[in-house]
Structure 1
Amino acid sequence: MVLILALVIVAIVLGIIGAVAHGWVFLLVIAIILFVADMAYAGIRWSRCSGRHPTR
């Protein structure tokens, strides 16, 4: 969970720097890719955890 939160924070910071700094659009692109990858990782991790418990 800490890894997911840390990656989201890094993606937000890179996105802000990439949006504000002129000519640093590649940081914004990296931030978007990082955020999407992080959300995919979180989705896969949460779907695995929820499938292990049998219904009673």
Structure 2
Amino acid sequence: MLYWTVIFLVIALIAGVLGFGGVASAASGIAKFLFVLFILLFLASLVLGQGWI
């Protein structure tokens, strides 16, 4: 699922360079949300003992 975060980040960067303000802000918002979600899931898996230890 981290793949989708990278996809939306790339879309946001391209849209920002080309000047599509609405598309860039929407894609960056989705990328930020997915990034925070994946960090929380990673931390939860570490706390529950299913991490790399």
Normalised by the length of structure 1, the TM-score is 0.66
Give the corresponding residue for 1:40.
Answer: 36
Q: Flag the structure with larger Rg.
A: 1
- Matched to 2:35, the amino acid is M
Please, which runs of 5 or more residues in structure 2 have no aligned partner?
none
Q: Offset of 1:12 from its aligned partner? A: 2.2
Identity %: 8
For residues 2-53 of structure 1, what are the alpha-carbon distances to aligned partners after superposition, in whole Å with 9 as ceiling and x for unaligned? x11x12221222112211223x111210122112111211122112101112
Number of matched residues? 49
User: What is the CA RMSD across the aligned residues, in angstroms?
Assistant: 1.5
Are 1:28 and 2:31 matched, yes or no?
A: no
Please, which runs of 5 or more residues in structure 1 have no aligned partner?
none
Asked whether the equivalents of residues 6 and 31 of structure 2 are also in contact (C-alpha less than 8 Å), the reply is no
Please list every run of at least 4 consecutive aligned residues from structure 1 whose deviation after the TM superposition is greater than 6 angstroms: none
